Amino acid sequence: MDSLPEHKRRSGRRYGGRVIRLMLALAVVMGALCLAYHHRVSRSDEADVLDALGRYVLANSTEGRQALVGSVWWPPIPTVMVTMAHAVAGSAGRFGAAVLVGALMAGCLAWTMNRLVRRWVPGGLAAWLPVVALLVYRPFWEAAGGGGVATLTGAWLSLMAVWSAVRWSEHQSLRALVYLGLAGMGLVGTHPVLALWFLLILLWVGVDLRLRGTGHDQRQAVGLLLVLPVVYLAALWGLLNWLIMGDGWYALRAVWPAAVAGSLTVAGWTHVPGLTGGVCLGLVAVRHRIRSGLWLSFLVMATLGLHAILIARGMAWAGQAMTLSAAVLGLLALAYLCREDVGMPGWLKVGTGLVAVVSALASHVGTVDPAPSATVARRELVEQVARHVRGTHPCIKVFVAGYRGLPVVEAGDPGLFVPSLDFNLRAAGRAYPGHWLYLLAPPPNGRTGTESLYWKYPDLIRHGASGMVFDSEWEGWRLYRLSAVQAPEIMKP
Amino acid sequence: MKGPDPLLLSRLRPEWSAHIPLTMAQKVVGLLILAGVITGLVLAPLAAGRVLVAICTVYYVAFTLYKFMLVRLSVSQSAEIRVPIERLAELHDEDLPRYSILVPLYHEPETVVRLVESIQALDYPANRKDVQLLLEEDDGETRAAVAAMWMPPGFRVTLIPRSHPRTKPKACNIGLALARGKYLVIYDAEDRPEPDQLKKAVIGFRQADDRVICLQSKLNYYNPRQNLLTRWFTAEYSAWFDLFLPGLAALNAVIPLGGTSNHFITRPLRSLLGWDAYNVTEDCDLGIRIYRAGYRTQMLDTTTWEEACGRLPFWIRQRTRWLKGYLQTYLVHMRQPVRLLRELGLSNFLHFQVLIGGLVFGFVINPLFWIMTLLWFVFRVESLSLLFPGMVFLMGALCLFAGNFTFAYIGAVGCYRRACYDLVKYALVAPVYWGLMSVSAWRAVWQFFRNPFLWEKTRHGFFAGT
């Protein structure tokens, strides 16, 4: 016997069937779009890095392990997802793993939005279908290009987190609590800035428990269930840094790297609809004394504020996921306004729907990682470097530094190019005695500026570093000759 | 006069009984697998090691995902039978059928008084209770304790003749044969069921579909704060009875019954020939047989409070028995795997593999992987990484980092659901507890071959609180 009433089971089955149909339709539409327009989607630099990273991890190489945990700006969850998809789908085809993960995450985002809209908005999915479609469209193309995996995952997790927090605030259900904790855990491993934002949700829950006069033991239990996943992942990450990189704080060494200016004047305006939704919801929530609405409004505005801080710090590239998350949360605020208990008149709900469409459209104008010239044909680069260094000595090795170096190494001669995620001058000399050694360093733009090479050798690009002499430059990539390690006794055959 | 036959199942349906621990075919298959593994390890140690590690890793991934799915189901939807108070109030005494209550006792004189009080406290008309205290013929101390006290109406003593095997199911079979009730429930000596449990079960059976012949109550402990072991034990029970079993019920899957507070409809239970007297987790085995016979089990939202075993040696013995019983159950039902697949269907066949066989397998292999992990982390034995090529490494890392966390977190969630808020923090250090379970698992495997029918009795009565 199933204790659920029959009509509920039937409705659940109908609903499940509808969701499956929606997902299938989404997959078919996206597949068709992929086939039709694949020539218009250029793979981003991030896609190539993630793909290469996946191959290194699957090969169980030291560089793969280092890359998996070595930087907060290349967090592990998107890498792991792409790696797993890579293992399943292989690197065959133009899109490969990135599309698989992108489609999955786009599906998750659409599914969650669908559930939420069905619950909150009269008319349900039919009324807001364009909103959901528009919302998913842009990040999907980013994912197809490879750059949207973290963006989509972060947006989906932030949506899950906020929705769970709202549900917790309204029903104190265990399910909401667990989902909230797990979403927080996911955010830590997907986008560190969003993890900071998650602290605000914890604050929300803490205050909420206090206001309800919950007992000490229960408050402690809720706190543990929420905080523990987050702390666990953070501690695990630290432990792996200690084990693999020899420094528990390694990944955090470049939390605030050198600022890189980005052209974000347009992106700033994309938040206007979300901001409108947040402000309107705040006003309505205060008027009707709806606690969860007030918190949601606060979170929407906090997200926008956090994004503004990133822009002000010149970290436009780090705010990519924030743009979409802010748009999603803005939509959430607008959907909340349409709830029955808010009591808005019908014409205003229609207006809200229109604002939601504008908001979803606006989310299409996002920031773009100012990926440097690493997207130039890597084969040309490695051929030029190889031509340049060969002939200088019979035994040569060229270390290629950083995450963006991984696909470069793959493009070149494996006997000549060596990947290096954690470049160390002395270790390099010890590893290849009798060789002439070079270091190929990527231009420190955007995220690349955060890599260990630049916090270990901060003046490398401007003045060179002790033991590394500037040799040549190709498309921003600079080649250094490692002079300090080539002592005469090492040079003897 | 010749009494009821407690070994009916093993006589009439020997293929369903653990009387013979391993059939000849199973012995041959087991030896072939063992020979294959040894040959592989000798001739191509790296390849064989990789294959074994890959099998274990796939198992870990499957088990983690499986448990996660069950928990997700149980927190998302309620699949257990809930009986509102109003429904209880609508019941009239004359509508209630006779209810048989079986209480096997063995060397437990100290529990008798409290046991009788607990059963008397059940909100059910005394003239419709049919309580049998099942006492072993040679258990003088318990018999003396029972004889020394006044027995309320509806209580009677049934003596179990001294014979092999000396197990609880053997006693229950005799109790079943002499039961007079339409419904029947088993309680242990230290159990304290919620007073309205019998009435809830009656309503539960009435509102359940015809195939449901068993309702499993939730079990939990009244002494969780006695020491660290009882805290862990409570966390484990909370996860099992409040998350996993409701998750299984939500899937309409086969449910391994818990040791006590299983409510049955007596007639179909008799048609199933009762319990297997040779199986030391006869409840788990019966849960599978119920499903194979086309019947179903559901969870009932009521709790029986028990005494958690708070002393490590007794806990190890109890857990050894449970895991040995799971092993017995697995091997009995896997004697004819194709038939089992046909009778359970594919999804329940897989449930059975993961839940019964997989559970023991996991606890047995855990120490091997812990040792490997320790060697890698502490001594950096890089050669171990050769055993984890590509995808296996990735899955292994996921299990190590996500899987272990998932299990500890599930324990914490179980405590929260059971409203044992102060135990949440103890659930998080459960990995030590898992180590104890592995000790028991190895002991269980050893005992399975040495002394398969040995029933290591759990001693209760150490908790003095109320």
Q: What is the DSSP string of A417-481?
A: EEEESS--HHHHHHHSTT-EEEEEE----GGGGGSHHHHHSTTHHHH-BTTEEEEEEETTEEEEE
CB B277 within 8 A of CB B172: no
**Residue among A4, A80, A229 minimizing CB distance to B409:** A229
Cβ burial B97-113 (10 Å sphere, 16+ → b, else e): ebbbbbbbbbebbbbbe
Here the CATH number for the domain that contains residue B432 is 3.90.550.10
Backbone phi and psi for residue B422, each to the nearest 5 degrees, phi listed first: -70, -10
**Packing angle of the helix pair B45-76, B404-417 (nearest 10 deg):** 20
Å between B135 CA and nearest CA of chain A = 36
Q: What is the pLDDT of residue B337?
A: 95
Q: What is the pLDDT of residue A321?
A: 67
Whether B173 is covered by a domain: the verdict is yes
Å between A171 CA and nearest CA of chain B = 13
In chain B, residues with a C-beta closer than 8 Å to the C-beta of A87 are 390-391, 394
Whether B88 is covered by a domain: the verdict is yes
Half-sphere exposure of B268 (CA within 13 A, CB side): 20
Going from the C-alpha of B214 to that of each of B204, B256, B264, B286, the distances in angstroms are 10, 11, 5, 10
**Residue among B75, B212, B416 minimizing CB distance to A1:** B212
pLDDT digits (tens, 9 = 90+) for B203-238: 999 999 899 999 999 999 999 998 999 999 999 999
Residue of A nearest to B211 (CA): A1
Question: A2, B252: Cβ pair inside 8 Å?
Answer: yes
* Local mean pLDDT, 10-residue blocks, chain A (493 residues): 44 53 62 57 71 84 89 88 78 60 78 79 61 60 60 88 89 91 92 84 89 91 94 92 90 70 51 78 87 87 83 71 77 82 76 71 51 60 91 88 90 90 86 89 84 86 82 89 60 40
> What are the extents of the domains in chain A?
13-362, 373-491
In chain A, residues with a C-beta closer than 8 Å to the C-beta of B296 are 1
CB B169 within 8 A of CB B440: no
Whether B186 is covered by a domain: the verdict is yes
Three-class DSSP labels, chain B: CCCCCCCHHHHHCHHHCCCCCCCHHHHHHHHHHHHHHHHHHHHCHHHHHHHHHHHHHHHHHHHHHHHHHHHHHHHHCCCCECCCHHHHHHCCHHHCCCEEEEEEECCCHHHHHHHHHHHHCCCCCHHHEEEEEEEECCCHHHHHHHHCCCCCCCEEEEEECCCCCCCHHHHHHHHHHHCCCCEEEECCCCCEECCCHHHHHHHHHHHCCCCEEEEEEEEEECCCCCCHHHHHHHHHHHHHHHHHHHHHHHCCCCCCCCCCCEEEEHHHHHHCCCCCCCCCCHHHHHHHHHHHCCCEEEEEEEEEEECCCCCHHHHHHHHHHHHHHHHHHHHHHCCCHHHHHHHHCHHHHHHHHHHHHHHHHHHHHHHHHHHHHHHHHHHCCHHHHHHCCHHHHHHHHHHHHHHHHHHHHHHHHHHHHCCCHHHHHHHCCCHHHHHHHHHHHHHHHHHHHHCCCCCCCCCCCCCCCC
Whether B17 is covered by a domain: the verdict is no
What number is the ipTM of this complex? 0.84
Question: A1, B394: Cβ pair inside 8 Å?
Answer: no
In chain B, residues with a C-beta closer than 8 Å to the C-beta of A222 are 416
CB B441 within 8 A of CB B363: yes
**Residue among A80, A215, A225 minimizing CB distance to B416:** A225
In chain A, residues with a C-beta closer than 8 Å to the C-beta of B405 are 229, 232
Q: Which residues pair with B336 in a beta bridge?
A: none
Q: What is the pLDDT of residue B203?
A: 96
Residue of B nearest to A235 (CA): B401
In chain B, residues with a C-beta closer than 8 Å to the C-beta of A60 are 385, 388-390, 393
Q: How many CB pairs under 8 A join A and B?
A: 81
DSSP state of A27: H
Whether B15 is covered by a domain: the verdict is no
Query: Which residues lie below 8 Å from residue A126, measured CB to CB, with a gap of 6+?
Result: none
DSSP state of A315: B
Spatial strand order in the sheet of B212-221: B155-160, B129-136, B99-105, B183-186, B262-265, B212-221, B296-306, B192-193
Structural domain total, chain B: 1
Question: A1, B296: Cβ pair inside 8 Å?
Answer: yes
Q: What angle do CA A277, A281, A285 make, to 5 degrees?
A: 180
Å between A354 CA and nearest CA of chain B = 33
Question: A57, B389: Cβ pair inside 8 Å?
Answer: no
Question: B298, A218: Cβ pair inside 8 Å?
Answer: no
> B107: domain range?
1-9+22-466
**Residue among A84, A175, A224 minimizing CB distance to B412:** A224
**Residue among B75, B79, B81 minimizing CB distance to A178:** B75
Å between B228 CA and nearest CA of chain A = 17
In chain A, residues with a C-beta closer than 8 Å to the C-beta of B385 are 60
- Which residues in chain B come in under a pLDDT of 70? 1-2, 77-78, 459-466
Strand B155-160 versus strand B129-136 pairing type? parallel
B124/A185 Cα distance (integer angstroms) = 49
Q: Which residues pair with B184 in a beta bridge?
A: B100, B264
